[in-house]
Structure 1
Amino acid sequence: MSGVPGRAHRKLDTRKDFDRLNPKSRNHQALHVITREQHTISRKNISKAALRVLYRLNEAGYDAYLVGGAVRDLLLGGHPKDFDVATNATPDEVKKLFRNCRLIGRRFRLAHVVYGNEIIEVATFRGTSEEQSEGDRHIVDGRIVRDNVWGSIEEDALRRDFRVNAMYYDISDFSVRDYVGGMQDLHDRVLRLIGDPQTRYHEDPVRMLRAARLAAKLDFRIDSSASAPFAELGPLLSGVAPARLFDESLKMFLTGHGLKSFRMLEQCGLLKFMFPATARALKRGDKALRALIEHGLENTDARVAEGKSVTPAFLFAVLLWGEVRDLAHTWTTQGKDDNDAWSRAAVHVVAEQCQRVAIPRRFTITMEEIWSLQPRFEQIQRKKVFRLLAHPRFRAAFDFLLLRAAESPAIGELGQWWAHAQQLPHETLAAALPLHHGAPAGDLDTARAGATRKRKRRRKPTAGKSGAG
């Protein structure tokens, strides 16, 4: 469908125009239209909100396409959670069509159309030549810091990162339009960049992280031409806004493929640019730390798969534990107070990490509490045990203790002790604990057996209820 007459930008209808504006485009494939009968995308798998946006734009005379990761995942048989739309309507024109629309972004001007809890992101086709279209583009040292130059769908395809992300589902005839060979890459299960990798990574260094994340998520390989510049250009990530890297880290580790993403970051040599403390600790060859991190990420992936909640605080506490632990031990051996040593170590590691990834304060507070509670698990005196059990972060800290089991047999036994202790009634546990260090106490195993018998005698035969653990 053609654009609205009188628009400041025009559609490039001929291959000649396309090649004239984009000399490098001769290396790309010609347009490949996959008809409705030739692909597996069904509107049943597209959110109703996205369909409403697509149909409204189309009925108003604009081009309207589902684009990006949603098209990629639908073609792979997946079920996308986010749906993005591309159009030749400008953000202001989109806003006029939808009362439930807000415009966001200075770097990239976008329209968000809101339906309840779902947000459909609508982007205007990006142009490749400022001379041919309206808007503005600002580039500093090769990095695009602002890009609001509108263009055609052909130009928009060239502006996208990977070929598998540059396919468009056309709501007007239900076909898929492939301008750069994305369908072939889906078949080959490979990630190839559009354009020169050096240029594209300078434009946006986060594309390196996105390559690692998508390779992990899709179980694709990264084309050698796309991965070759990682070692040289990885330091560019230090210039990316830390808040943006926080968002990217959540996509990597909290969407169900965190363990694969972590391993891919290491394999690509990018971990040290995002989590330098983690990379340093692992470089020291700490097998227990690696086991803790991988087990923690594996558990997080399992919770996501089961639809359970996950928190970034626990994840970052796992990733940064090695450096915090080593610093705290170093300072305690130098004669510093235990509490002070752990507090200083936590503050030091968090401060360094937040220069790379801006972890919000509400999460760093929880991280510091999880870490500071770890030495308190070793203090088996009556008052201290009950004080720790009542701590609001006890459960998270206890789960963390269980992850540390590989550190030593003593830590593993300590985890078992606390798991055992939580099963006992208050009075039974109190009787088994010493009042202070070195004082005699009852045996927890005996106490647990006695408590079990007592609970069985007291249990009421009420239908539908079970004994409390």
Structure 2
Amino acid sequence: MGKNQAATKPIGQLKIIPRSEHNISRKHISKNALKVLYRLKDCGFDAYLVGGGVRDILLGLQPKDFDIATNATPEQIKSLFSNCRLIGRRFRLAHIVFGRDIIEVATLRGHHDEEQENLGKQSEHGQLLRDNVYGTIDEDAERRDFSANALYYNIADYSILDYWGGVEAIANKQIDLIGDPETRYREDPVRMLRAIRFAVKLDMQITDSTAKPIKTLAPLLQNIPKARLFEECLKLFLAGQGLNTFKFLVEYQLFQQIFPNLAEQVADTNSKTYALITHALHNTDDRVNRNLRITPAFLFAAFLWYEVESAKAHYLSQQVPEHDALFMAIHAVLDSGQYNVVIPKRFSSTIREIWLLQPRLEKRAGKRSLKVLENPKFRAAYDFLLLRAQVEQGDLAELANWWTELQQSDELIQKDLIAQVSDDKPRRSRRRNPKRRKKPQQ
């Protein structure tokens, strides 16, 4: 494997921006990140705040994470911090743990060459499978993905090192990939998802050269581990801009690679699947932006609901009883492997409960309604019913309104509401055992 050719154009002239010419102050950086930066510096290592932390402060935003780059190796970092743990095989990283706050520290990356095959490895598609080749800050700057993320805040003198015109890209609101886009996307196809996420999150435009190869290379996402794609989905859809992100992902043929089983449905903006997904994302964005609790289970339940409906109809056509048909359909959809994410059990179990409660919400007679109200997952199932009603209207909207009124009513009105409804199937009369005749006394 020859030298990595990620950057096809030479490094631009390094621009060092002194403290007096930028707006980054130590008061913008978390105390724990500063502790790590100063410990590394005081022990003789170079230490930089990098990536999104620098970018967001320059944009006047509060960074969510503070990532650090250094010329110290992971083992040297671990020797400096008793609260350090080393993670990752593909990318070796150090996590410095301060309670619930984790500061991620990466050793400056270098280029791959034939003498380092035990440290760096690429697949036949050009994807980096192992990347623990360390280098200089100049090489690390070439390895960064977007120019806006290739900025280094130097704790030694509080200057910013700008190798690829990142400050200018931020000012121009541009997402611009460093190097040859096709090579960079092949190295890590998730960069295509990151381009969309950053463009939506930061209200920026993807440059033409960065956008052009995405549709062609989108199928490379199918080579990414399903667990990693699930984590990427959380970043894409649970950050408060999920609806716009979804529309861009569909436009660039990326959503269809994560959920190939939904490709046909999301291509049709008039389909029930498309409507349910967009309503769910709109509601999720609203809850995120109001700091309300959300769960990925609800969103994935919406993504896959009409797949369950279709599978259930298939089993019903084979004369399978309705209750069994639903169970079989849920199993077929969740366990089929038709989509390229793996949903952790803590979420898939909630998805099953939401789906299984939908037909129970339709059976309202007698004491059934009050029992369903007591179910721990009732609220999630009810919210899901409201979502379905937005799409399907008709009887489902009437059903949703009935459950809304039931929750808001006192005990007397609840009894009246329940008395007004009846199930589709008549209630069976309970058959009594005939009384045994007493034997005549002798």
**TM-score, normalised via structure 2 length:** 0.89
For structure 2, the 5+ residue unaligned runs are 427-442
The equivalent residue for 2:69 is: 86
Pairing 1:110–2:93 present: yes
Flag the 1:23–1:225 CA change in 2: closer, same or farther, 3 A. closer
Match in the other structure for 2:437 = none
- Structure 1 position 415 matched with structure 2 position 400: yes
User: Comparing 297-306 with 64-73, which one deviates more in the overlay?
Assistant: 297-306
The Cα offsets for residues 130-157 of structure 1, whole Å up to 9 and x where unpaired, read as 4798972122211111111110001001
Distance 2:384 2:96 in 1: 40
Match of 2:303 among 313, 319, 330: 319
Task: Specify the alignment match of 2:47 in structure 1.
Answer: 64
Q: CA deviation at 1:199?
A: 1.3
1:353 positional shift? 5.0
Identity %: 49
Please name the residue that 2:429 is paired with: none
- Tell me the equivalent position of 1:14: none
Mapped to 1, the partners of 2:406 and 2:382 lie a distance apart of: 12
Over 3 Å counting, the alpha-carbon distance change for 1:266 and 1:25 in structure 2 is closer
Superposed CA deviations along residues 98-126 of structure 1, whole A, max 9, x for unmatched, are: 11111111111111111121111111100
8 Å Cα contact 1:242/1:354 also seen in 2: no
Letter in 1 for 2:423: H
Q: Which residue of 1 aligns with 2:215?
A: 231
CA contact (8 A) 2:250 2:266 kept: no
- Which of the numbers 347, 356, 369 marks the counterpart of 1:363? 347
Q: Does 1:242 align with 2:226?
A: yes
Contact 1:130 1:149 in 2 (8 A): no
Give CA deviations for 1:240-287 in whole Å, capped at 9, x if unaligned.
110101111111111222112111111211111012233333335545
What SS does structure 2 have at the residue aligned with 1:85?
strand
1:127 aligns with 2:110: yes
User: Mind listing any 5+ residue stretches in structure 1 that lack a counterpart?
Assistant: 1-19, 441-469
How far 1:200 moved relative to its partner? Answer: 1.2
Matches within 5 A, 1:254-403: 254-352=238-336, 356-403=340-387
Code of the aligned partner of 1:90: T
State the partner residue of 2:20: 37
Q: How far 1:336 moved relative to its partner? A: 2.9
Q: Cα offset for 1:346?
A: 1.9
- Cα offset, 1:196, TM superposition: 1.3
Aligned-partner residue type, residue 259 of structure 1: L
CA distance in structure 1 between the partners assigned to 2:6 and 2:406 by the alignment = 71
2:148 to 164, 176, 182: 164
- Across the aligned residues of Structure 1 and Structure 2, the Cα RMSD in angstroms comes to 2.4
The alignment status of 1:179 with 2:163, answered yes or no, reads yes
TM-score, normalised by the number of residues in structure 1:
0.84
CA offset at residue 94 of structure 1?
0.9
1:277–1:349 Cα contact (<8 Å) kept = no
SS state of the match for residue 65, structure 1? strand
Q: Is the 8 A contact 2:83 2:96 kept in 1?
A: yes
From 430, 434, 438, give the equivalent of 2:415.
430
Q: 3-state SS of the aligned residue for 1:422?
A: helix
1:95 deviates by 1.2
